[in-house]
Structure 1
């Protein structure tokens, strides 16, 4: 639930509006949640050593070979490993050693936060929601926890925040920010801070390289984006799953492991970039307050490179009306080039979808006119053999690369064969005949329907440039 955009009226969006499989998220108490993850690792055979601190990653030339760590008594020990996974968080052990970290100039923010008891919650059915309120010089969060506590934080411009904290102290500074947010202040009228305040500054960064010889970076050690959408745990868990698959693959097959390293970095950067673009867009679209904080974070037309072929535009245009990526369209004032590009992509897809619907079944023959059309791929469409994520490891597979998706999208063997068969001369009827030959007995009808459905999808999103004769 947010106060953000054109006016001061709270508005909400829900996971269930865009994802029926995962209709909600969880607010977790991190000490307890992290301990659960640690104990799960221990129960699966991991040698967990609490009270120890890694101080250095060991290298033999360019290859990471292990770590040096200290125990509670101050003694240093070493342990060697085939692969080092850096999960050191914002401390960024390898990032510091190898000078990999690059700070994000757009998000030069500072957060001061604490934990409160007695905070009011939002009215039902939103009482479990995170509440975010834009204020004069930044924004505030209110995250209800199952313990009865609430995490309350204020995000402000970093240099100005540091100056304010130096003058007033962190607690008085936080209270001053809360006073500027009427909804948050009302919810904290009878609340008391029981932990904190804590200060974190200049947190947004990304590392140049996430995978190297004998090592891989995960979670906050790899990158961190502004906390507006609470993406940290999501990125950490996603990268943990991907890194486990990468390590498994690299230790089994050197050639596939090298391809998996590239795929890991591409997949992580793609997810990180999506959250970053979304946060930049939300900052730029807020009109609830005018101040240095908001003006400095406003994207001028053209500054975001929001062309119709931009991957983020393609994702937003694919969201249903309630999608959180699209909330900025209704609640704020996005850059004109962003709005125009989304509209262009949506209009393009709608026109093609209508054309397919109209031609799907001929009233005269009962057959789809699609059968007689000749498909032609758009410029820049390529089919590449790359490492793709399987069940706990990377496998060789096919990735469909387009101008708007340069990193590629994994596709099935059927779609890969369909793409490789499209040459701009062969009609769909002949493509179906060729593909049906590869199926087993009795599968012709299923293959035919799957190919036609895939062809329609590829045409609507522009991968297939034209269906000549349709």
Structure 2
């Protein structure tokens, strides 16, 4: 069987659903292939405000509000020389002063549903088998449904939003790992724990402990996502299994151990070696978006927001290059440059922030040096802007969609 579309998107997570939905909204025929059946579990529950504008663009911000997720207005940290401190997104003067802590199964299912509503053909429980190429250009994908039907789908353009599976990127680009961010995480869920209160209500809580740090994310009904992150090297030197390591590090904490007042519900989960970037983000007929392109350490919860911002930019990019194929190479180059530039800033900042022995003013000033070298704003505001997934001075994806002729 052979099918034809304007665009094929591999992957139905936040990056894929956003890209596909916004393309369909522009009148393009879009096929989205997803290997799982939604709703499905996924880690990465704490969002930042940079994604809220994309929810507006998709027309579903109010629906996200109606799902009853916890509003996240900022963060509270035990990090650096001066003990516990906090920030609010509103201090950065964003368009939207809060984000959400979400159940990813519900959140991602809503995004995929919206893509369907906007006209995307969505096929779940589908395995992409190979990339179709002609004369050095990607022209489609071969896929197999759960029922065993194998199909070739042709397209004017292909988007890889398949996360770490990288169903297109794996065939077309190598991956570079960030060696100084080779970390692992072990996490679980706890119920009836002590919530943050007052101005900290809804905040993600982060506490540094020897050799690592914890996240503590309020989700719903008193449930909290609690995870410990450490370098692979430090965890290996600890000489114990990850579950025991988690419990031992909780005991070493100052604040977290007093907050874990309720029982753990469910088993521990773990992941490791997640910080990487593809060498190439785009090429003739294809582009990578979200985790298929790169993933950065979860310290500042950038994953979902960067995926959705990139999805929004990718949709605009594809509309432009399909209308003006002669400038495809130029537009793809701008996409890759802007994506890598923002990633470099985030990676540089995360690496610097992992030095937990500094004054918080040092973190503010480093953020300013990255995104506001002219010092047009106060350093604390630049810090908040950066970790909101935004930029004070220009769009993260500054594509310049009117190519010079």
2:90 aligns to what?
A: 16
Report how far residue 37 of structure 1 moved.
0.7
Structure 1 stretch 102-111 or stretch 139-148: which is displaced more?
Answer: 139-148
CA-to-partner distance for each residue in 1:111-147, whole Å, 9 max, x for gaps? Answer: 1111221221122121200000000110110111135
2:251 aligns to what?
A: 179
Pair 1:315–1:46, CA change in 2 (3 A): farther
1:249 aligns to what?
A: 320
2-structure distance, mates of 1:271, 1:321: 18
TM-score normalised over the length of structure 1? 0.62
SS at match of 1:114: strand
Alignment of 1:428-467 (within 5 A): none
Report how far residue 239 of structure 1 moved.
0.5
Alignment of 1:37-436 (within 5 A): 37-162=111-236, 168-188=240-260, 190-286=261-357, 312=370, 314-315=372-373, 317-323=375-381, 325=383, 389=399, 394-396=401-403
1:359 aligns to what?
A: none
Residue 6 in structure 1 maps to residue 81 in structure 2: yes
List alignment gaps of at least 5 residues for structure 2: 1-75, 387-396
- In 2, are the aligned partners of 1:115 and 1:193 still within 8 Å (CA)? yes
CA-to-partner distance for each residue in 1:66-100, whole Å, 9 max, x for gaps? Answer: 11222223443321211110001122223322242
Highest CA radius of gyration, 1 or 2? 1
Pair 1:211–1:327, CA change in 2 (3 A): closer
2-structure distance, mates of 1:176, 1:319: 42
SS at match of 2:196: coil
2-structure distance, mates of 1:197, 1:62: 45
SS at match of 2:226: strand
Report how far residue 322 of structure 1 moved.
3.1
Report how far residue 109 of structure 1 moved.
0.8
1:34 aligns to what?
A: 108
- In 2, are the aligned partners of 1:53 and 1:69 still within 8 Å (CA)? yes
CA-to-partner distance for each residue in 1:258-278, whole Å, 9 max, x for gaps? Answer: 322122112211221221121
Report how far residue 32 of structure 1 moved.
0.9
Bigger relative contact order (CA 8 A; separation at least 6): 2
SS at match of 2:326: helix
2-structure distance, mates of 1:13, 1:4: 13
Report how far residue 193 of structure 1 moved.
2.1
1:380 aligns to what?
A: none
TM-score normalised over the length of structure 2? 0.71
List alignment gaps of at least 5 residues for structure 1: 289-298, 300-305, 329-386, 399-470
1-structure distance, mates of 2:200, 2:404: 43
C-alpha RMSD of the superposition: 2.8
SS at match of 2:99: coil
Figure out how many residues of one structure are paired with residues of the other and give that number: 315
Report how far residue 388 of structure 1 moved.
5.7
1:376 aligns to what?
A: none
2-structure distance, mates of 1:76, 1:316: 56
Pair 1:323–1:81, CA change in 2 (3 A): same
